[in-house]
Chain A
Amino acid sequence: MARVVVDVMLKPEILDPQGQAVQRALPRLGFEGIADVRQGKRFELEVEGPVDDAALARIREMAETFLANTVIEDFTVRVDS
């Protein structure tokens, strides 16, 4: 079975409190030099059948309507080789 990965990230202009909290904690733990942290979600989809253009289009639709909230999030779809 082929694996398709959907990464969902908050849009660049949307505040990411989780990423900020992690970033602020880093220097305290001795990890310097990280200017920004943004936290996202990764979905791994095990696809039955061939991952052709039609299948990817369906997955994009799924990501757009369900996996991501496109009011605040962007997503990318890629085939995991």
Chain B
Amino acid sequence: MTARPSPATAGGDGPSGRGNTRVGVITFPGTLDDRDTQRAVRLAGAEAVPLWHRDKDLKQVDAVVLPGGFSYGDYLRAGAISRFSPVMETVIEQARAGMPVLGICNGFQVLTETHLLPGAMLRNNHLHFICRDQKLRVENANTSWTAEYEAGQEISIPLKNIDGRYVADERTLDMLEAEGRVAFRYLDTNPNGSLRDIAGITNEAGNVVGLMPHPEHAVEPLIGSGRTDGLGFFTSILKKLVNA
């Protein structure tokens, strides 16, 4: 379990020097977890900035989260249509320049469609939507979004998807393993047939992270799974940005 930092110490001046750290949360048509993600960002002590898919302007945020949902109904392929939205042009550009970007579930799918992260997500091997609390191991605690955790730490956060089976070719998988870019792995049971139990990955620089489970649904003790294991994602980014 990660201790919940007090917002007063967690916040502080962002690198942009405008007071609070600003974390953008994108809404695509069909995005569902945008408000939840904004809440998680606030609970972590940062300022949540709503971003709209049609606007290229990122409103000078310090980091961006692509939340979960079914953008464009997951029609064609999950994330395939959102990937071409105007906001993503800027996100891709900024991510390459080092801005922290987190893709959760559908957001992860969008990130793979943009090729900011390798691989793709296919239909779960059992073909059903699955919603449950899922145990994970944090494999890489050096990314922008995992700094609050320790490598090897076990956390439980909700998983909910139908297209969650991570696949990539063997070479890519070997590369991810060799470079320590597997950020999270499923523990106990592999819920969807993801290759090598991969739940989430990072890019080489560690600023772009994508995962299928939902940290934003595990930030308050009374709500959802009743655990707060997911809050560390959002406090990590503060730590990273404030210390940058």
Interface residues of A (CB under 8 A from B): 17-18, 21-22, 25, 28-29, 39
Contacts and interface: CB of A to CB of B under 8 A. Distances in A.
B72 interface: yes
Contact of A17 (B73, B81, B84): B73
A80 to B, nearest CB: 25
B84 A18 contact: no
B3 interface: no
Among B73, B75, B81, B84, max chain A CB count under 10 A is at B75
Say which size band chain B's interface belongs to: under 10
B222 interface: no
B84 A21 contact: no
A22 B75 CA distance: 7
Give the dominant DSSP class at A's interface. helix
B76 interface: yes
Contacts of B84: 25, 28-29
A81 B97 CA distance: 51
Contacts of B81: 21-22, 25
Given A17-B73, A21-B73, 12 more contacts: A17-B75, A18-B73, A18-B76, A21-B72, A21-B75, A21-B76, A22-B81, A25-B76, A25-B84, A28-B84, A39-B75, A39-B76
Contacts of A18: 73, 75-76
Interface in B208-235: none
Among B73, B76, B84, max chain A CB count under 10 A is at B76
A28 B80 CA distance: 13
A17 B29 CA distance: 14
Contacts of A39: 75-76
Contacts of B75: 17-18, 21-22, 39
21 contacts: A17-B73, A17-B75, A18-B73, A18-B75, A18-B76, A21-B72, A21-B73, A21-B75, A21-B76, A21-B81, A22-B75, A22-B76, A22-B81, A25-B72, A25-B76, A25-B81, A25-B84, A28-B84, A29-B84, A39-B75, A39-B76
Nearest to B86: A28
A25 B75 CA distance: 11
Among A17, A21, A29, max chain B CB count under 10 A is at A21
Interface string B31-43: 0000000000000
A24 to B, nearest CB: 9
Contacts of A22: 75-76, 81
Nearest to B82: A25
B123 to A, nearest CB: 13
A25 B84 CA distance: 9
A12 B36 CA distance: 39
Nearest to A20: B75
A81 to B, nearest CB: 30
